[in-house]
Amino acid sequence: MHSMTATHNTDYHRASAGFHPIAWLQQAIAVRSQRMQLQDLDDHLLRDIGVDRKYAQHEAERPFWDLPR
């Protein structure tokens, strides 16, 4: 007869314990807003921050859930 033991992945529990859905949603909304503002900047302001129009458009098209880590 084999005995079964329960194993727990403690890394999973630590990672999931730090996830806060409301905080994540607030961050997603803020990042989306920043991406839209980046898209609206004119070319000389984009140059001032070292971003070209193509990159600004690419960022604006990213989905809201694609957050920086």
DSSP conformation letters of 36-64:
HHHHHS-HHHHHHTT--HHHHHHHHHS-T
User: Is the pLDDT assigned to residue 1 strictly greater than 60?
Assistant: no
* Residue with the two structure tokens 């989905």: 63
What pTM did the predictor assign?
Answer: 0.65
Q: Summarize pLDDT for 15-59 with one digit per residue, the tens.
A: 567 889 999 999 999 999 999 999 999 999 999 999 999 999 999
Kindly give, in sequence order, each residue whose CB lies less than 8 Å from that of residue 65, ignoring residues fewer than 6 positions away.
Answer: 28
User: Is the pLDDT assigned to residue 14 strictly greater than 80?
Assistant: no
Residue 67 lies in a domain: yes
Give the total number of structural domains in the chain. Answer: 1
User: Is the pLDDT assigned to residue 4 strictly greater than 90?
Assistant: no
Query: Taking the alpha carbons of 40, 44, 48, 52 in that order, is the dihedral positive or negative?
Result: positive
- Comparison of pLDDT for 1 and 56, the residue scoring more: 56
Decide: 62 and 38 in contact? Cβ < 8 Å. Answer: no
Residue 41 lies in a domain: yes
Q: Which domain, by its residues, includes 46?
A: 21-69
